[in-house]
Amino acid sequence: MADESLKQVVKRSLRKARHRSRLRLRYLVGPRQEKQPLFILARQRTGGNLLSDYLNSIPGISLEHEFLNPVFHYGIRPRPERPEAVFRHVRYSLNALPERIAGCKILIGQFDLHGITFEQFHQQFPTSKYLVLYRRETDKQFVSLKVAHKTKQYLATDTNPPKQVTVHIEPDEVADFYELNRNEYQSVLQHPCIAEQGRVVSYEDLASRPQQLFDEVIFPFLGVPPTEIKTKLVKQARRPISETVENYDEVKDVLQQYGTLDLSVPTAAG
């Protein structure tokens, strides 16, 4: 088992190295296209994969999963002492995507993971546009995250249906999660660029009325003509949290107390 794990680590490291080499070569010797960077700023279990999938169905837009996630071969390991390596990786990755509007999802905590701030990131990519995605129903977000951690399933399709399990919750976990959620979003929303170069959208609107959300908010914001959006993903949480949480009666009060996230949403200028 240990040998197999070592083989997997080596294989993943080699795949990352090959990917980085291809990105660098394409950036240095290949033709470059002027990009309009687009980033989804989100937290886990807020619909980032769903929003990315919808965006990738639109002509002229291409999004990778997460440039800053060290787990994936297209990500980068944390180098707090070398922030320029992170920015270079993002720049190379943007260049390699096929469409003019290009970008990825960034979990807000990944800025801190790599030892950079959102301010520093925006300074490197000052023309970026941002979709800040959050979930109003924090209790459902938290339970969904607990389920995902237990099942190791972070997205579902018709061919990979959602796994149904139950989870146990400690009251302190809920309060800590809510505070981290709020603080990370406010760290982004307080930046003045979001008012002009960003839009804040909720998971609830994305899940219940996706085409309307794109037609009224996202298409005008991106300056692309409206089109029908599509996704291959399916909803994972199909049961109420009262049936998913094993000790629901013990924690229902704290879940209700921290059940809703209200964000101070900036107004776009002009």
The predicted model gives 59-63 an average pLDDT of 97
User: How far apart are alpha carbons 214 and 208 in whole angstroms?
Assistant: 12
Domains delineated in the chain: 32-257 (3.40.50.300)
pLDDT, residue 30, reads: 84
pLDDT tens per residue, range 186-234: 999 999 999 999 999 999 999 999 999 999 999 999 999 999 999 999 9
Q: What is the CA radius of gyration of the chain?
A: 19
242-259 pLDDT tens trace: 999 999 999 999 999 999
How far, rounded to the nearest angstrom, does the alpha carbon of residue 179 sit from its chain's CA centroid? 19
Distance CA 125, CA 41 (A): 14
Question: In this structure, what token pair is assigned to residue 104?
Answer: 């990825």
Percent of the chain with pLDDT over 90: 80
Which residues fall within 8 angstroms of residue 254, CB to CB, at 6 or more apart? 171, 174, 175
Which amino acid is present at 200? V
What is this structure's pTM? 0.92
DSSP bridge partners of 201: 133
In this model, does residue 1 exceed pLDDT 70?
no
pLDDT tens, position by position, 74-104: 899 998 889 999 999 999 999 999 999 999 9
Q: Is the pLDDT of residue 10 over 90?
A: no
Above 80 in pLDDT, residue 270? no
* 48 token code pair: 């980032």
21: left (phi over 0), alpha (psi -120 to 50) or beta: alpha
